[in-house]
């Protein structure tokens, strides 16, 4: 399990620091020929979970970075409620991942690039702020958005060039 102490961070804002860790995960996905989305979960100023998309690798449509990171974090905390955690993810979560965030009771989400085709936080849907649901999530959007979006653009441009997607 990845656990990192954040006490020595003076030159970066905390959100940017942790988003850079999520970008590192997205780069691992890119290397594995997966859609480059990365996520980390922070609890008490420590990274307790880090994951990237693994749908192709695991042949599992639910193997999104957020879901994998949530599973890791619940094992570290030994509770399904991640009430004092922040999830950092490079792409705006989809409906499935937004649902997982709600179910895990994560109070804060920080994401990089918006997803106009599948985003369920602000772009297409606003699941995390729906007043009909019993949990709300503080959302910080656009942290390192250009860098996060560039990874996705590069990935899909290469796939189209190869005639694969």
Cα 36 from Cα 28, distance rounded (Å): 8
DSSP code of residue 87: E
Active site residue 4: no
Q: Which residues pair with 38 in a beta bridge?
A: 52
Comparing CA positions, the residue from 56, 4, 14, 8 lying closest to residue 31 is 56
The one catalytic residue among 66, 83, 138, 147: 66
Counting DSSP H helices and E strands in the chain, the numbers are 5, 5
The two tokens of residue 38 are 């990365």
Q: Phi first, then psi: give them for residue 123, nearest 5 degrees.
A: -70, -65
Cα 68 from Cα 40, distance rounded (Å): 10
Active-site residues: which are they? 66
């Amino acid at each position: 399990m990845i656990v990192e102490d954040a006490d020595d961070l003076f030159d970066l804002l905390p959100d940017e620091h942790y988003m850079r860790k999520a970008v590192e995960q997205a780069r691992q996905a890119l290397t594995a020929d997966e859609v480059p989305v990365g996520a980390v979960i922070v609890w008490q100023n420590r990274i307790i979970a880090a994951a990237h998309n693994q749908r192709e690798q695991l042949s599992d449509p639910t193997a999104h970075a957020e879901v994998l990171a949530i599973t890791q974090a619940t094992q570290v905390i030994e509770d399904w409620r991640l009430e004092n955690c922040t999830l950092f993810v490079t792409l705006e979560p989809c409906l499935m991942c937004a649902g997982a965030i709600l179910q895990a009771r994560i109070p804060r989400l920080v994401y990089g690039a918006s997803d106009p085709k599948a985003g369920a936080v602000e772009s297409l849907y606003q699941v995390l702020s729906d007043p009909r649901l019993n949990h709300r999530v503080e959302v910080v959007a656009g942290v390192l958005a250009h860098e996060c979006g560039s990874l996705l653009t590069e990935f899909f441009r290469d796939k189209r060039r190869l005639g694969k997607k």
